[in-house]
Amino acid sequence: MRTDRLVLGAFLALLLLVPAILSPYYVTLLNYIGLYAMVALGLVLLTGVGGLTSFGQAAFVGLGAYTTAALTTATDLPGWLAWAGTSPWLTLAVGLLLTALVAVLIGSLTLKLSGHFLPLGTIAWGISLYFLFGTMESLGGHTGISGIPAIGLLGWTLDEGGEIYYLIWAFLLVAMLTTHNLLDSREGRAIRALKGGRVMAEAMGVDTSRSRMVIFVIAALLACASGWLYAHMQRFVNPTPFGVHIGIEYLFMAVVGGAGYVWGAIVGAGVITVLKQWLQNWLPSLLGATGNFETIVFGLLMVLVLHRAREGLWPILKKLVPVRALRKTIDPDAEPLPRRTLPKAGELILEAKDVTRRFGGLIANNNMSLEVRAGEILALIGPNGAGKSTMFNQISGVDTPTSGEVRFLGKPVAGHDSREIARMGMSRTFQHVKLLPTMSVLENVAIGAHLRSDKGVLSSAWRLDRAEEARILKEAARQIERVGLAEYMYEEAGSLALGQQRILEIARALCADPCLLLLDEPAAGLRFREKEALGELLRKLRAEGMATLIVEHDMDFVMSLVDRVVVMEFGQKIAEGLPDEIQQNPAVLEAYLGGVE
Ligand SMILES: Nc1ncnc2c1ncn2[C@@H]1O[C@H](COP(=O)(O)OP(=O)(O)OP(=O)(O)O)[C@@H](O)[C@H]1O
């Protein structure tokens, strides 16, 4: 048996035995750790992986707790709602539904915010919900609600710490398993691209706003489930545990444990809960005075951890546990992904007509026109600052021309976002490479196939996407082999040399099965042999009917490869023609060499 399975088995066996071997005090402590870890797990997804900082999770815990408290203790529920108060399991369903609705509402208002505005937004709604719990008379005001019944399960009443313990940890383990599965999927790659890779992900067809909303709702649902369990464990709720200061503590747990790791949630919740408890017990006797000293020491310890272990404690602990990272396997029998039929050679694919782009007084593109046909490689060249990248942005829908029009496959590009354009069959690389550096080469390339597959969050969480995932990985591996990076398939993308990272971007673009490739300086940083191999690949793609538009500074590479060349200077087209003609063109020589004798 593999060591990691043994370690996991030992951990689960230990969890199972806890109520039998530990005193009720420690069981209660573990109950709290389980409840907190569930909220911290949501923050791992939201903050650690997705890069969205929230201080407001405690409010969602409160929503779960108050929903069940109010419904299960009410004596005068209206007829249409009376069914909900009959069992805590029904109130869980109501709480989750309500939380999802509130999260979608709050998310649509706050997730558009960026930078420090988003955390501030979460504080704002965190405070609002907290005061709502305390202000509503029907929720017991600041006194709260007591007399909440225990949860019944298969004939048992879970009214003791040692009993609800199993339910709490079962919830947590299922949440960890499904979160782990989700992150290891098509949806998960989209989520992992949110932090630092949004432009790239959108260009690959990922709806990043939807992905942000997905993790926001999941994190809220996990917090709600934790609140539901809390209410039935305590059998009493009041607003105190749902304030913003507890929201900050949840964030600490995720960060201290390791905000980018599923196991970080347990580690963070465990360390902070135990530490607080110890400090509370020991400090008064150590200092000979009572007071909230633990909060001060706790704050200092946090600063220390943030200085010394930015990634949190889990990566450090992981080194001590004999667990090796699992390598993804490529299933050679997986069915190939469907492919689009490429237009016939010579067919007009891309047409830019009189494109002008002004930035204030600066005209970066001035009446630029060009055409690319199927089975053709067109180079767009020009000195630095000529306006090539700006033109690329107009073509790929990243930017909109001030005047003029770009048509792709006969349809105007303006008004469509990068995602729709990607879906139409345009795929690009970036002048400044945009990769997810800690993800493997294989997974980076697999993002390219996002639009060629459709399994969603639930299928991913419950592993119903494995057949499709195998097809995606097989396609990604095929493209990696095609561009000559097979030996680096399982390396972290960030560890590759810059030239190889550019080639990786081409594999990712090809994984989208495009009919038009836009390559921004693909040969920059490549060695001679690598350039030769790239040239060969592009020639092969051309023979298959691919249309390619390439911006490149390496003239030897360009002139020996492309069919036609468009030359720009100061935002305008100064020449267009066959490579041989362009090399003799006096205007081009003037632009590049500053004049001919
Ligand atoms: N968003 C922007 N706002 C203002 N000016 C811009 C913007 N983007 C580009 N420019 C300006 O437009 C001009 C053309 O820039 P662009 O990056 O398109 O040139 P380029 O030919 O791609 O150059 P290089 O080969 O160095 O990448 C430059 O003067 C640049 O400063």
Residue 596, pLDDT above cutoff 60:
no
Atom 30 (ligand 1): residue with closest C-alpha?
385
Question: Could you tell me if the CB of 389 is within 6 A of ligand 1?
Answer: yes
Give the residue whose CA is nearest to atom 28 of ligand 1: 385
| Same domain, residue pair 474 and 589 | no
Over residues 212-226, the pLDDT tens digits come to 999 999 999 999 999
Question: Is 364 close to ligand 1, i.e. is its CB under 6 Å away?
Answer: yes
**Structural domain ending residue among the three candidates 493, 513, 533:** 513
Position 306 in a domain: yes
Ligand 1 atom at minimal distance to the Cα of residue 382? 21
User: Do 151 and 214 have their domain in common?
Assistant: yes
Whether residue 233 is found in the same domain as residue 358? no
pLDDT, tens digit (0-9, with 9 covering 90-100), for 349-385 = 999 999 999 999 899 999 999 999 999 999 999 999 9
Q: Is the CB of 520 under 6 A from ligand 1?
A: no
Q: Which of 389, 428, 553, 570 to mutate to test the pocket of ligand 1 (most atoms within 8 A of CB)?
A: 389
Distance CA 28, CA 591 (A): 76
Q: What is the 390 CA–ligand 1 centroid distance (Å)?
A: 6
pLDDT at 426 over 90: yes
Q: What stretch of H or E contains 157?
A: strand 156-158
> Is the Cβ–Cβ distance between 275 and 257 less than 8 Å?
no
Q: Is the CB–ligand 1 distance for residue 386 below 6 Å?
A: yes
**pLDDT tens digits, one per residue of 163-179:** 899 999 999 999 999 99
Strand arrangement of the beta sheet that strand 411-412 belongs to: 362-373, 348-359, 403-408, 411-412
DSSP state of 495: G
pLDDT of residue 593 exceeding 70: no
For ligand 1, whether the C-beta of 385 sits within 6 Å is: yes
For residue 240, tell me if it sits in a domain.
yes
Q: Which of 513, 542, 561 is the last residue of a domain?
A: 513
* Domain assignment of residue 11, yes or no: no
CATH code for position 361? 3.40.50.300
Number of folded domains in the chain? 3
Q: Where does residue 286 rank: exposed (0-12), middle (13-18), buried (19+ CB within 10 A)? A: exposed
Residue 499 and residue 533 share a domain? no
Pick the residue whose CA is nearest to atom 10 on ligand 1: 364
Same domain, 198 and 64: yes
Token pair, residue 490, equals: 């399982």
- Mean pLDDT across the chain, nearest whole number? 91
Residue whose C-alpha is closest to residue 110's, from 128, 97, 100, 124: 124
CA of 569 to the centre of ligand 1 (A): 12
Nearest ligand 1 atom to the CA of 553 is 25
| Contact between residue 356 and residue 363 where contact means Cβ atoms under 8 Å apart | yes
Q: How far is CA 216 from the centre of its chain?
A: 11
421 and 456 fall within a common domain:
no
3-class DSSP assignment, residue 441: helix
Q: Whose CA is nearest to atom 31 of ligand 1?
A: 385
The predicted complex's ipTM stands at 0.96
Give me the pLDDT at residue 597, please.
Answer: 43
Is the domain of 391 the same as that of 355?
yes
Structure tokens given for 342: 């490429």
Ligand 1, atom 8, lies closest to the CA of 390
Ligand 1 proximity of 270 Cβ (cutoff 6 Å):
no
The least confident of 62-66, 117-121, 228-232, 563-567 is: 117-121
- Cα 359 to middle of ligand 1, angstroms: 9
Is residue 4 included in any domain, yes or no?
A: no
> Is 453 found in the same domain as 417?
no
Nearest partner of 68 among 41, 40, 96, 42, judged by Cα: 96
Nearest CA to ligand 1 atom 3: 359
Identify the three-state secondary structure at position 269: helix
Average pLDDT score over residue span 138-142: 86
| Domain CATH code at residue 275 | 1.10.3470
> Do 225 and 97 belong to one domain?
yes
Composition of the chain by helix, strand, coil, percent to 5: 60, 10, 30
Is residue 387 within 6 Å of ligand 1 at its C-beta? yes
CA of 442 to the centre of ligand 1 (A): 32
390 close to ligand 1 (CB < 6 Angstrom): yes
Is 85 a pocket residue for ligand 1 (Cβ < 6 Å)? no
Could you read off the pLDDT of 430-458 as tens digits, one per residue?
988 999 999 999 999 999 999 999 999 99
**What distance in angstroms lies between residue 385's CA and the mean position of ligand 1's atoms?**
5
Q: Is 384 in the pocket of ligand 1 (CB under 6 A)?
A: yes
Task: Check if the beta carbon of residue 417 is closer than 8 Å to that of residue 397.
Answer: yes
Please compute the mean of the pLDDT values over residues 475-484 and round it to a whole number.
95
Which of 362, 363, 392, 521 best tests ligand 1's pocket when mutated (most atoms within 8 Å of CB)? 362
- Tokens 């200061």 locate to 245
- Distance from the alpha carbon of residue 362 to the mean position of ligand 1, in angstroms: 10
Q: How far is the CA of 354 from the centre of ligand 1 (A)?
A: 18
Both 397 and 452 in a single domain?
A: no
- C-alpha 395 – ligand 1 centre gap (Å): 15
Task: Give residue-wise pLDDT tens across range 103-116.
Answer: 999 999 989 887 78
**DSSP secondary structure letter of residue 492:** B
Report phi then psi at 139, rounded to 5: -100, 15
Classify residue 153: in a domain, yes or no. Answer: yes
Contact criterion met (CB below 8 Å) for 205 and 512: yes
Of the spans 155-159, 317-321, 410-414, which averages the highest pLDDT?
410-414
Q: Is residue 141 part of a domain?
A: yes
Burial group, residue 446, by CB count within 10 angstroms (0-12, 13-18, 19+) = buried
C-alpha separations of 261 from 30, 45, 442 in Å: 20, 8, 20
| Any atom of ligand 1 within 6 Å of the Cβ of 285 | no
Among protein residues, the one whose CA lies closest to atom 18 of ligand 1: 387
Question: Is residue 76 domain-resident?
Answer: yes
Q: Is the CB of 75 under 6 A from ligand 1?
A: no
Pairwise CA distance, residues 566 & 377, whole Å: 11
Same domain, 106 and 253: yes
pLDDT at site 323: 67
- Is 9 within the bounds of a domain? no
* Residue 1 confidence (pLDDT): 57
For ligand 1, whether the C-beta of 103 sits within 6 Å is no
What distance in Å separates the CA atoms of residue 574 and residue 498, rounded to the nearest whole number? 31
Q: Ligand 1 atom closest to Cα of 387? A: 18
Q: Whose alpha carbon is nearest atom 14 of ligand 1?
A: 387
In this structure, the number of other CB atoms found within 10 A of the CB of residue 326 comes to 9
* Least confident residue range of 65-74, 109-118, 248-257, 404-413: 109-118
Same domain, 441 and 409: no
Protein residue closest via CA to atom 25 of ligand 1: 384
Return the minimum-mean-pLDDT range out of 69-73, 163-167, 173-177, 286-290.
286-290
Angle ∠(385,391,393) on CA atoms, nearest 5: 110
Domain that holds residue 498: 433-513
Three-state SS for 315-371 is: HHHHHHCCCCCCCCCCCCCCCCCCCCCCCCCCCEEEEEEEEEEEECCEEEEEEEEEE
- Span 263-290, mean pLDDT? 87
**Last-in-domain residue among 304, 320, 336:** 320
pTM value is 0.92
